[in-house]
A and B are shown apart, each in its own frame.
Chain A
Amino acid sequence: QVQLQQSGPGLVKPSQTLSLTCAISGDSVSSNSAAWNWLRQSPSRGLEWLGRTYYRSKWYIGYAVSVKSRITINPDTSKNQFSLQLNSVTPEDTAVYFCARGNGGMIDSWGQGTLVTVSS
C-alpha cells in the first residue's frame, strides 16, 4: 500500500519560489511502472495537473504548458521522494497542492494535500 507524505510551507510571498516535497513509502521513485505527479486544486482553476517524473531506464519529466516556464520537478532517489518548485508565484498560484502516483495508466494514490497561500 503506497503512502505519500507531503511537506513544505503553507505561505509563500509573491515573486518567491514555492517548494514542496513528497516522501514515498510502499513504492520507489525509481519504479519502472509508476509515475510521480504534482497537481493542484483551487476554486478558480479546479483540479489542474502540473507535471510528472518517471523512470524507464532513464528519467523523464513532463510539465503542463500553463506552468512550463516556472516549474521544476525533481526525483530524489537517496530519500525516495520527489519535489516541486514553482517560481515567481502570484496570488493566482494559491491552491491546495497534491502529489500523486500514476500507475497502470491512472492516478491511483494521492498525498494528503497542502494548502499554499501566496500572500505578502
Chain B
Amino acid sequence: QSVLTQPPSASGTPGQRVTISCSGSSSNIGSDYVHWYQQLPGTAPKLLIYRNNQRPSGVPDRFSGSKSGTSASLAISGLRSEDEADYYCAAWDDSLSGWVFGGGTKLTVL
C-alpha cells in the first residue's frame, strides 16, 4: 500500500490530453514539492516534473504538473505512442522522514 494514491491505469488516443492524479496528506504533498517520474519497461525512473511544475531540460512542454493542497496532477497533452509508460508521483514525507511514492499509473496509448 503506497503512501501516495494514484489510479492504477490511464489511457488515451494519440493527440488526446490525459491527466494522472496523485493524492497525499499534509505531511507530504501538503507540505512539500511533488515530483513526477516516467518509467519505461526495464529501465530506471526518469525525472519528468520537479517542484510541482518544473520540467528538466529535454522534457517536452507537452508534460505539465500542478499541485493544490494535498493533491497533484500530471497532464500530458498531444499524446504520443512513446508516452506509453508507468508514471509515479513522489514527495518527501516530514512524518516519515523519507521519500514516499505513488503506486504508479500505467498509461496506455490506444
| Contacts from A to B (Cβ < 8 Å) | 37, 39, 46-49, 51, 62, 64-65, 98, 104-113
Contact = CB atoms under 8 A, between A and B. Distances in A.
Given A47-B2, A47-B104, 11 more contacts: A46-B103, A46-B104, A49-B98, A65-B98, A98-B44, A105-B51, A106-B51, A107-B47, A108-B47, A109-B47, A110-B46
B85 interface: no
A110 B33 contact: no
Interface of B: 2, 32-33, 35, 43-47, 50-51, 56, 88, 90, 92, 96-104
Given A46-B104, A65-B96, A110 B45 contact: yes
A93 to B, nearest CB: 18
Nearest to B90: A107
A107 B35 contact: yes
Contacts of A51: 98
Contacts of A64: 96, 98
Contact of A106 (B2, B33, B46, B100): B33
Contact of B44 (A104, A105, A106, A111): A111
A117 B86 CA distance: 23
Given A105-B33, A108-B47, A111-B44, A62 B97 contact: yes
Contact of B35 (A65, A106, A109, A111): A106
Contacts of A111: 44
Contacts of A106: 33, 35, 47, 50-51
A54 to B, nearest CB: 13
16 contacts: A46-B101, A47-B45, A47-B88, A47-B104, A49-B99, A49-B100, A62-B97, A62-B98, A65-B96, A106-B47, A107-B90, A108-B50, A110-B44, A111-B44, A113-B43, A113-B44
Contacts of A48: 101
A105 B45 contact: no
B101 A49 contact: yes
A104 B99 CA distance: 14
Contacts of A105: 32-33, 51, 92
